[in-house]
Amino acid sequence: MLRVILAVLAVFSTGILDVRAARNDLQVFVFARENRDAMESAYFKPFSQAAGVTVHDATYDGMEDKYTRMVKAGKATWDLMQVESRMLEQGCKEGWFEKLDLGKIGDKADFVPGSISECGVGMFAWSHALAYDADKLSVAPSSWADFWDVKKFPGKRGLRRSAKYTLEIALMADGVAPADVYKLLATKQGADRAFRKLDQIKANTVWWQAAPQPSLLLAADKVVMTSAYALWIGDDQQRRGKNFKIVWNGSLHDFDSWVILKGAPQTAEAYKFIAFASKPENQKTFVTELAYGPTNRKTLPLLAPALAGKLPTAEANLKGTLRVDIPFWVRHGAALEHRFADWMPPLQPTADEQEEEHHGKKGAPVPGHAH
Residue 284: inside a domain, yes or no?
A: yes
Residue 366: inside a domain, yes or no?
A: no
pTM of the model: 0.86
Residue 330 is classified by DSSP as H
Query: What pLDDT digit, counting tens, does each position of 6-19 carry?
Result: 332 233 333 433 44
In sequence order, the 6+-apart residues with CB closer than 8 A to the CB of 260 are: 79, 80, 97, 98, 100, 267, 270, 271, 274
CA 57 from chain centre, in angstroms, equals: 19
Q: Do residues 103 and 157 share a domain? A: no
Kindly tell me the burial class for residue 213, based on how many C-beta atoms sit within 10 Å of its own C-beta (0-12, 13-18, 19 or more). buried
Q: What distance in Å separates the CA atoms of residue 328 and residue 345, rounded to the nearest whole number?
A: 26
What CATH number has the domain bearing residue 72? 3.40.190.10
For residue 144, the enclosing domain spans 127-253+324-359
Mean per-residue pLDDT for 26-32? Answer: 92
Buried b vs exposed e over 275-300: b needs ≥16 C-beta within 10 Å?
bbbbbbebbbbbbbbbbbbbbbbbbb
Query: pLDDT-based confidence at 65, cuts 50/70/90?
Result: low
pLDDT at 365 over 60: no
Q: Do residues 166 and 116 share a domain? A: no
Q: Do residues 211 and 336 share a domain? A: yes
Q: Do residues 120 and 132 share a domain? A: no
- Counting the structural domains of the chain, the total is 2
Cβ atoms < 10 Å from Cβ of 84: 19
Residue 316: inside a domain, yes or no?
A: no
Q: Do residues 294 and 145 share a domain? A: no
Q: Do residues 233 and 270 share a domain? A: no
Residue 206: inside a domain, yes or no?
A: yes
Q: Do residues 141 and 283 share a domain? A: no
Query: Nearest-CA neighbor of 56 among 35, 77, 84, 33?
Result: 77
Query: What pLDDT digit, counting tens, does each position of 170-207 carry?
Result: 999 999 999 999 999 999 999 999 999 999 999 999 99
- What pLDDT is recorded for position 77? 82
